[in-house]
Structures are given as structure tokens and as C-alpha cells.
Amino acid sequence: MTNAGGTSSTSGESVVVAHHQRLICEAIAGILDRAGFTVMAQADTERDLLRLGMQHRPDIALVDCDIPGVAPDTILALIERLPDVAVVMLTHPQSADALLPILQAGARGYLSVNLSSKEFVESLRMLARGDIVVSQEMADGMKTELADQASKIKDDVSGREREVLQLICEGATNREIAEKLIVSEHTVKVHLRNILNKLNLRNRQQIAAYAVQEGLVTEIKSDDVSESAP
């Protein structure tokens, strides 16, 4: 489906609408048209989305998540070809596991199909002004799931690793940690490497900040955490 055309937009935002259901695609195009956007084209396949995007170079690409083949790689490919396009996904509320890869690929928004037409239009206007837009119910779901993930990560940190964390926050060197815990420096380095991997951190400074922020240790007693990790 490749229906191009539309009325002239008073604010200049042009849109390519991609949805796997033709009737819904036409309904969305109608809403946008009446709101003053210029609907350049409609697509119902991943291939048409990429082709029509290149052909019309819209300000906004509104993409249904359920189009077969649409994935983070699709969004990345579209943005690489059209760096100025603002990609916004239209979908049922999903988990953070589904949302985050799309946002990480460069999408600027995630809108729920449960929005009213007024909320939908206002979200796209915010997007056109440069904002990142995520429907509230989806944002709430992402916060909850990300908090759960963070809690699971903290639970993965062992008791001995927490001891290492505390000593790092006190400014202890690897040798001092080894002496305190009566282990070898090699063992300390293994613990540090495991901590960095589990918490997705890069160095001792980040370890110390994260440990205090997340309540894994009591406090930082020294600013001397500059020894490279691990």
C-alpha cells in the first residue's frame, strides 16, 4: 500500500505512516491530515517503509510495531539513511524488554494505541518540536520493569563482593583489600571484574558511586578510589 498525498501542513511537519492494517493506517492519516500535518505516504510493509521514507524524506515516520519484519535494525537503517527523521512507534503497551531496544536504535517516541486522537496529535507536535515522547502508561511500565531489573542485579552481588565494594568505597587498594579479606590480589581482581560485569560499570569510581547510590554499602569514607580497575 503506497498512498501518497495530503493537505498542506500549516506547521510544516510531514509524515509517513506505516501500519500493517490498511483501515487503521487510513484512519491515522485522516486524523493527522485534519490536524494540519502533511501525510506524504502510507505503507504496510517494512520494505515500503524504507522505500517511501527515502522517497519522501518526511519529518516524522510513524511506525506500527506489528508490521512484519520491523525491528531495531529497521529503525537503525531508516535513521542512518534519514538522519533528520523523527521515528515514533505506535504499539500496545509492552515491556521494557521490547521498548528499550527500539529507543536505543534511535526512535524518538513510543505511543500507545490507547491514546485519544487529541493526545496522539499533541504527542506528535511535541515530537516535531524535538521532544522525546513516551505514553505515560508505557513510561510507568518501563520504570517498574527497570526497577525490577536493577533489584535483580543487586541481588546477584554476593556477600564477599559487597565486602569488596565497601572496601573500595573506603579507598582501599587491591593489596589492602586482599590483606583485609585474607585472599590473594588475584582473587580481589576476579571479584572486581565480576562486579564490573554484573553492574555494567567501567571503573572503581563508578563502582563506588553506584554502591552508595543503590545502598549496597553504607558510605564512601575516602575520595581515594582512583586505582584502576580491576
Q: What is the pLDDT of residues 142-168, one digit of tens each?
A: 555 544 544 555 556 778 888 888 888
Q: Do domains 14-139 and 152-213 have the same CATH topology?
A: no
CATH of domain 152-213: 1.10.10.10
**Confidence at residue 17, expressed as pLDDT on a 0 to 100 scale:** 96
Q: What is the structure's pLDDT at 10?
A: 42
Task: Collapse the DSSP code of 156 into the 3-class scheme (helix H, G, I; strand E, B; otherwise coil) and give the result.
Answer: helix
* Per-residue pLDDT, 8: 37
The CATH code of the domain at 14-139 is 3.40.50.2300
The share of the chain scoring above pLDDT 70, in percent, equals 74
Q: Give kind and range of the element (H or E) at residue 138.
A: helix 136-156
Task: List alpha helices for 19-71, DSSP H.
Answer: 22-34, 46-56
To the nearest 10°, the Cα dihedral for 105, 109, 115, 121? Answer: -140
Which strands sit side by side in the sheet containing 38-43, from one edge to the other? 38-43, 14-18, 60-64, 86-91, 109-112, 133-134
Whether the model clears a pTM of 0.75, i.e. scores above it, the answer is no
Domain boundaries, the chain: 14-139, 152-213
Q: Which residue did the predictor score with more confidence, 181 or 155? A: 181
Cell of 55: 522517497
C-alpha cell belonging to residue 100: 528499550
